[in-house]
Copies of this chain bind each other. A is one copy, B any other.
Amino acid sequence: MKLIKGGVTAAKGYSAAGIYAGIKKKRKDMALVYSSVPAKGAGTFTTNIVKAAPVKWDIQLTKESDFIQAIVINSGVANACTGQEGDKNNLLMAQGVSKELGLPLEAVYTASTGVIGKQLPIDLITENIPKLVKELDGSLDGGTMAAEAIMTTDSYSKECAITFSIDGKDITIGAMAKGSGMIHPNMATLICVLTTDIAISKELLQEAVSKDVKHSFNMISVDRDTSTNDSLLVLANGMAGNTEISEKNQAYDKFCKALNIVTSSLSKMIAADGEGATKLFEVTVKGTKTWDDAVVLSKSIISSNLVKTAIFGNDANWGRILCAMGYSGADFDPDKVDLYLENADASLKLVENGMATDFSEELATNILLDKEVKAIVDIKQGSEEATAWGCDFSYDYVKINADYRS
């Protein structure tokens, strides 16, 4: 298994484009991902009761469509809380792409991201679809253009790809993702597109991503706000030529492993690029009786505003970490907790059996000054563990969100 350069166009048979249609003020705002042959489609979606129009559309297609061949995405407007007009505009966006590419309407996934409650400027969108299709590009550049076009407050675009082999055939998974605010996924984060040339049944493709997000995108939080538009969409077009995976064999396991490397990498990128973030904060909680406990504890720590502001201030205020564990709902004995702070160069034990060690505040601050900081918590009650990713909380988070719409 090898990480390679590239994104959604890394696997065989995929092309992509990203253009400026005028939805946002200046930056690219429409993306298209296309498979030259029909692909199996699967996805995971927000658990928010308020679901954007494209999310409702994709959930329906994921259930009913035999194949998917294109994904059209706009940024700038989320098409959420937009009523029947929103559903109609979403349909017009899918129809535009279906017509231009000569595909059945049911083969076109849609996604939108941006301001909630505004209607899509649908004329701008439909007018620009021919241009979007014309610019489809199978090189890595095409993937990058698309990754840039789905950004909102992201400070950089996020791509990842991996290759591995099954039955002597080279398989590739490529991906792009966006999202740096309203990030507390409860199925997947706000728009991730995965493309692969593997041959796999629709059922197992869905099962693989549904299981994977629990360990990747569902383990990140920027601000505890679960979006109305969270969507992870995956296409598998079979062009790698492997025997179609239709049971949970070694090939399936290998695919799941590669998938997790890609999704975990993207998850970390999203957390590190959280709105206003100055560093990635990774928290591993181990020694729990159940995996669920480790998840609840690690997510409670990375979600705490007080922990996040302390990390921003390079302040080893470990009491806030224990406090966040204490109100998480998971059961543990506070008097047994060990806590370590780590970066690439050093590891420091701050807490032993629930009380401060005689640690050096200077060394702790040095660790916290790094761009990637890890906390490891051992509750010493079992053998399960989980890792969650978040970021610090800076002035810029407030700045970005105080006047997002203007």
State how many angstroms separate the Cβ of A175 from the closest Cβ of chain B.
Answer: 25
Contact mask for chain A residues 308-328; partner B; CB cutoff 8 A; 1 contact, 0 none = 011011010111101111110
CB neighbours (8 Å) of A305 from chain B are 223-225, 305, 397, 401
A237 within 8 A of B: no
Report which of B315, B324, B401 forms a contact with A405, defined as CB distance below 8 A.
B315
Residue of B nearest to A402 (CB): B313
Complex interface bits, A128-148 against B, C-beta within 8 A gives 1, otherwise 0: 000000000000000000000
A116 nearest in chain B by CB position: B319
Q: Does A23 contact B (CB under 8 A)?
A: no
Q: Which residues of B contact A327 (CB under 8 A)?
A: 47-49, 184, 186, 225-226
- In the complex, which residues 203-236 of chain A have their Cβ closer than 8 Å to any Cβ of chain B? 223-228
Chain A interfacial residues counted at CB < 8 A: 64
Q: Kindly state whether residue A109 has any CB partner on chain B within 8 Å.
A: no
Residues of B within 8 A of A81 (CB): 319, 322, 334, 351, 354-356
Q: A82-B355, A83-B355, A319-B116 are in contact. Are A50 and B334 (CB under 8 A)?
A: yes
Indicate how many identical chains form the complex.
2
- A78 within 8 A of partner (CB): yes
A3 lies within 8 A of chain B by Cβ = no
Residues of chain B with a CB closer than 8 A to A335's CB = 83
| A399 in contact (CB, < 8 A) | yes
Residues in chain B near residue A83, CB distance under 8 A:
335, 353-355
CB <8 Å contact, A78 and B319: yes
